[in-house]
């Protein structure tokens, strides 16, 4: 009688991770479908599907077997295999720390709280959301307690989205930004405003033209309409973007470029990494650096509009017939302090994030009471941006993040802005005058450069190491500030 030899540990680990990636793929389709095409009444049944998939993935992943395989795979020579083991160990250890009961409680109560937030926001009724936010905060404290060796509570949360990032480092960058952004915004010049309507079909055509020039391939990508735009990648060669097209303005064009940035990062990951945890962008901030790069550094550049305005203008003869290219560029780049983070321009955006970063730490430290949030929110919005928040729907209730217990995530948006310009400076040093290329409708060299330096590596390098390899420096707000000063001089 012969026995089959057990597979070597690396093959075995890869097989388990590939199976988990397949389950993740299924979960991602279930999620995408629920946001794009599922009839609303299907929500309860779909929640069961997602909960089951999540539980099965979790149990499979935190198993002793995975731990034993990781133990047998220390010190591998092949750098990609070593990266796979490193990343898997990091995620396995994190997942093992959090008791299954707490994880289930967090996901269950988030589902309830997000529905309560939705209602509270619609009615601008913060009081009805207070108990839910209290619950989320309490669960977050219990979650943080699973990582007792971390220096500050907030570090636990940051590290989840941005490996190795610390509160002190973010604090330093944000203090510097605040110093410069507040006066920059105060010195802003008046800018022309665009008035619609901008018919939806014409906007969708414009979105298509831009996506195709950027390298959107209908064989592997799709785009749909949803109330809140997002990008998802269920699996290899399957990129799904969404946009929200509203005839009142042209935000859909910019949000489409934004989601393209997320999509292209995932699409251009080396195919050899497929069905493994390495087949994803390396961190939230790196991801956001790409969406911001395509949305702002490309999509709000003079070169881009030299190419695209002559194509856009005829699509909207009523709204844009008498608007010249320069006025248009000023209108879509202007600094306009407002209440809503999601609508904020390149200069004011950072202050929306800094406000949230401060409040999250104060909530965790207990130095701010939940019931006092609206008042503090409104007064700081006035200090930082000079705006008077009219009601809580346009203030403290505007974002969904806290309702699903997403604390520590907001800073990655602004770190993405900072990193986008650090990478941009490097790309320009290598590629010369990008604007001239954009003015000819050519974006391929930039995309190739990004693929080579950022995208293809997936998660092989932790974010800090990737940034260091490409730019030779660590997180640095100065290039971003210089970019803003030049742009808004
Ligand atoms: Zn984004």
**How much distance in Å is there from the Cα of 280 to the middle of ligand 1?**
15
Peptide bond into 303 cis (omega under 30): no
Question: Which one, of 182, 202, 111, 97, lies nearest residue 146 by Cα?
Answer: 97
Q: What H or E segment, with its residue span, contains residue 122?
A: helix 100-123
Tens of each residue's pLDDT in the chain, 489 residues: 445 556 899 999 999 999 999 999 999 999 899 889 999 888 888 888 888 898 899 999 999 999 999 999 999 999 999 999 999 999 999 999 998 889 888 888 888 888 899 899 999 999 999 999 999 999 999 999 999 988 899 999 999 999 999 999 999 999 999 999 999 999 999 999 999 999 999 999 999 999 999 999 999 999 999 988 999 999 999 999 999 999 999 999 999 999 999 999 999 999 999 999 999 999 999 999 999 999 999 999 999 999 999 999 999 999 999 999 999 999 999 999 999 998 899 999 999 999 999 999 999 999 999 999 999 999 999 999 999 999 999 999 999 999 999 999 999 999 999 999 999 999 999 999 999 999 999 999 999 999 999 999 999 999 999 999 999 999 999 999 999 999 998
**How much distance in Å is there from the Cα of 447 to the middle of ligand 1?**
18
Task: Output the CA–CA distances (angstroms, integers) from residue 487 to 12, 73, 226, 330, 352, in the order listed.
Answer: 53, 50, 32, 10, 20
pTM: 0.95
Q: Which residues are catalytic?
A: 259
Q: Residues of 140-169 as b/e, b for ≥16 C-beta within 10 angstroms?
A: beebbeebeebeebbbbbbbbbbbebbbeb
Question: Which one, of 281, 271, 183, lies nearest residue 232 by Cα?
Answer: 281
- What is the number of other CB atoms lying within 10 angstroms of the CB of residue 386? 11
Q: If you ran DSSP here, which 8-state letter would residue 51 be given? A: H
Domains of the chain: 9-149 (no CATH), 169-487 (1.10.1370.30)
**How much distance in Å is there from the Cα of 218 to the middle of ligand 1?**
21
Q: How far apart are CA 99 and CA 115, in angstroms?
A: 25
Question: Which one, of 92, 7, 107, lies nearest residue 50 by Cα?
Answer: 107
Phi, psi for 13 (deg, rounded to 5):
-60, -45
DSSP notation for 125-140: -HHHHHHHHHHHHHHH
**How much distance in Å is there from the Cα of 455 to the middle of ligand 1?**
16
Q: How far apart are CA 182 and CA 160, in angstroms?
A: 30
**How much distance in Å is there from the Cα of 418 to the middle of ligand 1?**
14
């Amino acid at each position: 009688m012969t026995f089959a030899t057990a597979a070597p540990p690396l093959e075995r680990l890869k097989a388990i991770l590939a199976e988990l990636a397949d389950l993740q793929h299924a979960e991602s389709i279930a999620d995408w479908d629920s946001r794009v095409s599922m009839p609303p009444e299907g929500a309860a049944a779909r929640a069961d599907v997602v909960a089951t998939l999540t539980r099965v993935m979790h149990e499979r992943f935190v198993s002793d077997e995975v731990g034993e395989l990781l133990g047998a795979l220390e010190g591998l020579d092949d750098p990609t295999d070593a990266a796979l083991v490193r990343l898997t160990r990091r995620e396995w250890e994190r997942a093992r720390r959090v008791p299954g009961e707490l994880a289930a409680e967090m996901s269950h109560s988030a589902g309830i709280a997000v529905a309560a937030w939705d209602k509270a926001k619609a009615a601008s009724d913060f009081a009805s959301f207070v108990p839910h936010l209290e619950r989320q905060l309490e669960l977050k404290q219990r979650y943080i307690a699973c990582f007792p060796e971390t220096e500050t509570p907030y570090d636990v949360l940051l590290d989840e989205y941005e490996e190795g990032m610390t509160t002190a480092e973010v604090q330093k960058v944000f203090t510097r930004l605040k110093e410069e952004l507040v006066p920059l915004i105060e010195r802003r010049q008046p800018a022309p405003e665009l008035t619609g309507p901008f018919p939806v079909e014409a906007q969708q055509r414009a979105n298509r033209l831009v996506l195709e020039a950027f390298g959107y391939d209908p064989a592997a990508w799709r785009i749909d309409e949803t109330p809140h735009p997002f990008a998802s990648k269920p699996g290899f060669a399957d990129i799904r973007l969404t946009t929200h097209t509203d005839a009142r303005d042209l935000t859909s064009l910019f949000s489409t470029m934004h989601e393209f940035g997320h999509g292209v990062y995932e699409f251009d990951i080396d195919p050899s990494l497929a069905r493994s945890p390495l087949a994803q962008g390396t961190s939230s901030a790196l991801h956001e650096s790409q969406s911001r790069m395509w949305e702002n550094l490309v999509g709000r550049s003079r070169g881009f509009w030299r190419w695209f305005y002559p194509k856009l203008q005829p699509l909207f003869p009523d709204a844009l017939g008498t608007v010249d290219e320069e006025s248009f560029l000023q209108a879509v780049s202007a600094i306009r302090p407002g209440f809503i983070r999601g609508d904020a321009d390149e200069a004011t955006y950072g202050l929306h994030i800094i406000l949230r970063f401060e409040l999250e730490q104060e909530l965790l430290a207990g130095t701010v009471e939940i019931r006092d949030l609206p008042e503090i929110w409104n007064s700081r919005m006035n200090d930082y941006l000079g705006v008077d928040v009219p009601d809580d729907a346009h203030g403290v209730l505007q974002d969904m993040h806290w309702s699903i217990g997403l604390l520590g995530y907001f800073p990655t948006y602004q770190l993405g802005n900072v990193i986008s310009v650090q990478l941009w400076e490097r790309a320009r040093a290598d590629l010369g005058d990008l604007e001239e290329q954009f003015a000819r409708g050519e974006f391929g060299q930039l995309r190739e450069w990004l693929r080579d330096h950022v995208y293809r590596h997936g998660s092989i390098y932790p974010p800090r190491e990737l940034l260091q390899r490409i730019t030779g420096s660590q997180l640095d707000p100065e290039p971003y500030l210089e970019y803003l000063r030049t742009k808004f001089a």
